[in-house]
Amino acid sequence: MTLLRLSQKSEFNPSRIPLPSSKSESNRALVIDALTEGENKITNLAEARDTQTMIRLLKSNPAVFDVLDAGTTMRFLTAYASVTNQKKVMTGTARMCERPIGILVDALRAIGADIHYLNAEGYPPLAIHGLPEQKSDKVKIRGDVSSQYISAMLMIAPILPQGLEIELEGKVGSRTYIEMTLELMAQFGIKYTWEGNRINVPHQAYQSTTFAVESDWSGASYWFSLLACSDSGALFLEGLKENSLQGDSKIVEIMDYLGVKSTFEKGGVLLKKQAVKGLKKWDFTHCPDLAQTVAVTCAILGQNAIFTGLESLKIKETDRIYALQQELAKFNADLKEIEPEVFQVIPSVTMPRKVQIHTYEDHRMAMAFMPLLTKTEVIIEDPEVVNKSYPSFWNHCELLGISIEKQTGL
């Protein structure tokens, strides 16, 4: 097992971080590109393994779409293969085949797709036999499980002969990701309406265009956290927009409470350390990928914050609730469920001399716990997990003068 031992100098001088491109935008743009008649010019695609997997599968078009551990790629390509009448087997890693896909498959079947499971009902691997005839122009999808199911259906909706109306049932989680999908579709010429809980996309053609992917706000969140946990310093994060499509840009508002002032300038955003105002409560319904980052930050800074909207965390790369609880405990903190689906961060009172973080095959666990190096020596297990979304992460840590020592563990 590979380990990384991390330690930090006392203060950051103004440094520039060349953030990676957004995986979320990239993956959506790639599917839309594949559905567009004509040639698009898409630039600044993400280096993330998930996106590179999407590029490889769309380009080579094998009989088996092995998405590895990429949940977005699994869901988007399941819808894509169906609407383009392809015969495909969809599979991935052992963990990927434990992540549910039944809601999406049910929606695709409702409009005419021929799909069956090759193993457990509701989970990959699955076999797709196309969508020979559209049977319905209306479908209902739960809004509280994964926005990726909804986004997958939205992106194929324009090329369905009858278009599609999607009725969102119940509470809608990660709404900003649905909005991102629709806004990206609009940039490729698609018109839609969203009234109440119904989204209507008429039959129409995607129009070829030029599109540049923004830098990744999820990746930016770890640098916000690092500065928040430091005594002083400043950072400049390149390629971020003030009016972003990405829901994780909420990190600006969250971190304003936790000691980071953000100023948008040409080419990105300048972060400066400021006094901690205090974070009492936050709803992560529309930005669940920020929860790990903010939980660790609060635990380090002594914030007894209340978190809601964490329902989707249990079906991510790992059960992120469990993983957070286990690793926070290593420096005497906790994420305690005080009511059903309501959690409280119990901050650390005493910090051990060294903390070794297990990453659970989850890229966000490795990066979210990195800021601990501001308070103690940190060892990160299996640091290569960051390749899923941010392959250059450890190199960027070194740009800030963070000392990284590679070790081999048992």
- Least confident span in 27-31, 215-219, 406-410: 406-410
Find tokens 């409280």 and name the residue: 344
Q: What tokens were used for 171?
A: 């509470």
Q: What is the mean pLDDT of residues 371-378?
A: 94
Supply the residues annotated as catalytic: 289
Closest Cα partner for 385 from 368, 401, 399?
368
Q: What tokens were used for 183?
A: 């806004």
Phi, psi of 399, rounded to the nearest 5 degrees: -60, -30
Average pLDDT taken over every residue of the chain: 93
Q: What is the mean pLDDT of residues 372-377?
A: 94
Closest Cα partner for 14 from 265, 275, 214?
265
Q: Can you give the pLDDT at residue 92?
A: 97
Q: Can you give the pLDDT at residue 145?
A: 80
Q: Is the pLDDT of residue 256 over 90?
A: yes
Q: Cα dihedral sign for 127, 131, 134, 139?
A: positive
User: Which pLDDT band holds residue 410 (cuts at 50, 70, 90)?
Assistant: low
State pLDDT tens for residues 90-119.
999 998 999 999 999 999 999 999 999 999
**E-assigned strands of 248-363?**
260-265, 268-273, 281-283, 306-308, 334-339, 342-346, 354-357
**CB atoms inside a 10 Å sphere around CB 207:** 13
Q: Can you give the pLDDT at residue 98?
A: 93
Q: What is the mean pLDDT of residues 82-94?
A: 97
Q: Can you give the pLDDT at residue 207?
A: 97
Helix H segments across 95-196? 102-110, 147-156, 175-187
User: Which pLDDT band holds residue 2 (cuts at 50, 70, 90)?
Assistant: confident
Distance CA(298)–CA(282), nearest Å, equals: 11
Q: Can you give the pLDDT at residue 327?
A: 97
Distance CA(9)–CA(88), nearest Å, equals: 51
Cα angle for residues 63, 66, 72 (degrees, 5° grid): 120
Q: Is the pLDDT of residue 60 over 60?
A: yes
Q: What percent of the chain has pLDDT over 90?
A: 85
State pLDDT tens for residues 349-360.
899 999 999 999
8 A C-beta contact, residue 188 and residue 32: yes
Q: What is the DSSP letter of 99?
A: S
Q: Is the pLDDT of residue 314 over 60?
A: yes
Q: Is the pLDDT of residue 409 over 80?
A: no
**Of residues 410 and 329, which shows the higher confidence score?**
329
Q: Can you give the pLDDT at residue 14?
A: 58
DSSP string, 165-177: EEEEESSPPSHHH
Query: Hey, what domains does the chain have and what are their CATH numbers?
Result: 2-20+215-408 (3.65.10.10), 23-212 (3.65.10.10)
Distance CA(112)–CA(133), nearest Å, equals: 6
Q: What percent of the chain has pLDDT over 70?
A: 97
Q: What is the mean pLDDT of residues 54-70?
A: 96
Q: Can you give the pLDDT at residue 32?
A: 98
Distance CA(2)–CA(5), nearest Å, equals: 10
Torsion of CA 112, 113, 119, 120, to 10 degrees: -50
Q: What is the DSSP letter of 213?
A: P
8 A C-beta contact, residue 167 and residue 120: no
State pLDDT tens for residues 178-224.
999 999 999 999 999 999 999 999 999 999 999 999 999 999 999 99
Cα 239 to the center of its chain, rounded Å: 18
Q: Can you give the pLDDT at residue 311?
A: 86
Q: What is the mean pLDDT of residues 270-297?
A: 95
Closest Cα partner for 153 from 169, 135, 165?
165
Q: What tokens were used for 201?
A: 């996309």
State pLDDT tens for residues 114-172.
999 999 999 999 999 999 999 999 999 998 888 899 999 999 999 999 999 999 998 88
Q: Is the pLDDT of residue 316 over 90?
A: no
Distance CA(41)–CA(150), nearest Å, equals: 26
